[in-house]
Structure 1
């Protein structure tokens, strides 16, 4: 497979006439610059390495346009539980395939799916990892690169059992989750070249202290591990009351902080938290459109980066599916926090949206030799982007300016009308009981 790019915008620098060649697995085996387009290559005008969605809950897409009334994160969560309780393997596969297709259409080339809807509503197991296979098959159908972050979810809060609504999320204990994770690893092996398995700890609220260390110690060291961290002040308050530590300090005490860890949101941090995260070399995944929609707050992105933390982005609840709007939201949040412009340089935004997100998911950087040939072609002359300098496109373009998305060297096309119809069917069916 060969892809030729007239103008490759890589980390804010425009390179001309770049020719990529990929092997059968979609990995770049060679790259040449300043060459003419060969007749056997697909040609792109202006392209950038693919965007990584480092944090997604696909089924939350069903809540878009249904939960934006007044309330809090906690009232929104009750509506989310209602949607989660109605999913089946078949309905989830259909809905996720449409959601993943929407991601591809707007420029996401990879996604980390933070998945915890494991069991039937009564907590009994589906045969053969049915819910996880549904997500894997949905990603393969949509043509997106998936890292399935199978999530350990054992408690309904610090020192509290799972609620009825949370029953299907949980395993009996950490041993059962580890056993199920190992079995799932075998089940996914070889199923699709686009699908790999990672892991997640839901939060310090949902994973008991002793289980945190077990997971960090017993998972293979090359497996990416994610966790929701300090999304809400109430989480911090509960953790300090129970353990005398902030959530970050608790993770440090239990040996969870490590370069393979990604902390999601990281909104309400102390100076010591930031220092610990930087010293451990973790990634922090910010989800600006979700954090704004839920009223979570604005996290300390600049302070984290200055401490040595690499930032990535994610769509989280999928109220917005658009990598460029996430990047713009990240910069806008910093401007609102600091009352200053130009907080994150455009070339750094490109890295955040692409290479850092891929690294957070345990993937090699895209559009590099030995990495996946994942690219996004952008329209630099649309109503939104006309007149923009190429390197500043994260601050002017949106997902509507994506012309073509390339995953593993293959151009992935989706009809947006068809995606919308599939989403409508899946969401309407999910909420049929509310009519």
Structure 2
């Protein structure tokens, strides 16, 4: 176990607000043991090289899709959409091995750490080989995700995904979907097998239902009654307009409406995307206690639409952000696009601020930190005693950061500087990023380059 350490922070964002001249005590287990004034510190602590903020939780990831970032930007012969993008993704899946999945995930997780994320929620549905052939170990690809997270240092919530059908009403899956498919018994056995593996890796285990398209209501109810993880439950819902139309044709109800009517949605749940909702659905989802899992860069890339974040937040709804298909990998880009989408829709500025004089950066940072922790199954959020020491040090030598104070720091980072402001990142008490470079960068990049050269 690493030796305990302490870190002196001239400026730090604590749950109660910004503070100056604070020393964090960090135990050998990677958790914060004390938060106090410099005068109480034993010995000489290391000094952070700039303002310190909590690393965010990334609440939605399909790690393997990082390998195809930028490869679906060639216009087709018809109107391109999520559904044409999906065909490109299926072709990638058919060529990837477990070794490839691990190498791509490690590359992604190192990038996410450099982008200011300290924890990843992996919505993992890539379970089998091409054509649906099962590996000798049914948990093979999940174990590769766990290994990649451990190697890079990022915290992990692992969500194996139940996926059985191609469309509403139990439609037979297509050939491109075969690597994702389980029956109920296989899926529950996978969850049981992953319990000790996640515990050994200090990872949180939950589960996901891919979507209302991919599981029948009876299958969902059976899984929810039998699962024993106690962790988060995530589902894609109402991402595309066609999905809404197909759900109405199948059930007479819209996707979020159907989900809230038929399933026991509560604060364990995270509704991924939930882009297309009526005012009533928006209010009901906010009241349910579930987190809305927003992926602004991917939603923009796919042309999905704009989530009603201003209305949802005004109703007290909880939300967080993820990077989904990983066309972006930084906190700054996701939070900036979240706010900018609301501005473009409303043709007004500063949409998600909590009121006159409030910082937009602070508002969205606090909200996504809290919602992300809930969606990851972590409970509390922020820098406090008992929390995992996942910290972002912004570059105090940058003039924009060095001359900013309190919430100005977040506004400069998120709306003016972007990822260039992230200098150092600590994960579970260990420095994994220093001066913008991951400590395993060379080996991770080498393995990733080999995968891309073969796949592309």
Note the C-alpha offset of 1:189: 2.7
Secondary structure at the residue paired with 1:189?
A: helix
CA contact (8 A) 2:15 2:383 kept: no
Q: Which residue of 1 aligns with 2:181?
A: 170
RMSD: 2.1
Q: Which residue of 1 aligns with 2:431?
A: 411
* 1:104 equivalent in alignment to 2:113: yes
**Distance change (3 Å), C-alpha of 1:252 and 1:105:** same
Counterparts of residues 389-404 of structure 1 (less than 5 Å):
389-393=408-412, 394-404=414-424
Q: Which residue of 1 aligns with 2:190?
A: 180
* 1:372 equivalent in alignment to 2:388: yes
CA contact (8 A) 1:224 1:261 kept: yes
Q: Which residue of 1 aligns with 2:149?
A: 139
* 1:271 equivalent in alignment to 2:279: yes
The two structures have a TM-score, normalised by structure 1, of 0.93
Secondary structure at the residue paired with 1:48?
A: strand
* Unaligned stretches of 5+ residues in structure 2: 354-360
Q: Which moved more, 1:340-349 or 1:154-163?
A: 340-349
Counterparts of residues 61-72 of structure 1 (less than 5 Å):
61-70=66-75, 71-72=80-81
**Distance change (3 Å), C-alpha of 1:225 and 1:80:** same
Secondary structure at the residue paired with 2:348?
A: coil
Counterparts of residues 276-287 of structure 1 (less than 5 Å):
276-287=284-295
Of 284, 305, 308, 1:300 maps to 308
Q: Which residue of 1 aligns with 2:22?
A: 18
CA contact (8 A) 2:393 2:423 kept: yes
**Distance change (3 Å), C-alpha of 1:425 and 1:233:** same
Of 114, 117, 127, 1:118 maps to 127
Aligned length: 428
* Unaligned stretches of 5+ residues in structure 1: none
* 1:151 equivalent in alignment to 2:151: no
CA contact (8 A) 2:110 2:441 kept: no
List per-residue Cα deviations over 1:277-320 (Å, max 9, x = no partner). Answer: 11211101111111111111111011111222111001111011
CA contact (8 A) 1:111 1:147 kept: yes
Secondary structure at the residue paired with 1:278?
A: helix
**Distance change (3 Å), C-alpha of 1:339 and 1:37:** farther
**Distance change (3 Å), C-alpha of 1:67 and 1:369:** same
**Distance change (3 Å), C-alpha of 1:355 and 1:251:** same
Note the C-alpha offset of 1:34: 5.6
Note the C-alpha offset of 1:426: 2.0
Note the C-alpha offset of 1:25: 2.6
Distance 1:72 1:201 in 2: 23
Distance 2:57 2:123 in 1: 14
Secondary structure at the residue paired with 1:311?
A: strand
**Distance change (3 Å), C-alpha of 1:339 and 1:268:** same
List per-residue Cα deviations over 1:157-183 (Å, max 9, x = no partner). Answer: 113111111011010x22321222122
Distance 1:416 1:398 in 2: 23
Q: Which residue of 2 aligns with 1:82?
A: 91
Distance 1:76 1:10 in 2: 41
Q: Which residue of 1 aligns with 2:377?
A: 362
Distance 1:416 1:324 in 2: 23
Secondary structure at the residue paired with 1:397?
A: helix
Q: Which residue of 2 aligns with 1:73?
A: 82
Secondary structure at the residue paired with 1:354?
A: helix
Secondary structure at the residue paired with 2:52?
A: strand
Q: Which moved more, 1:376-385 or 1:64-73?
A: 376-385
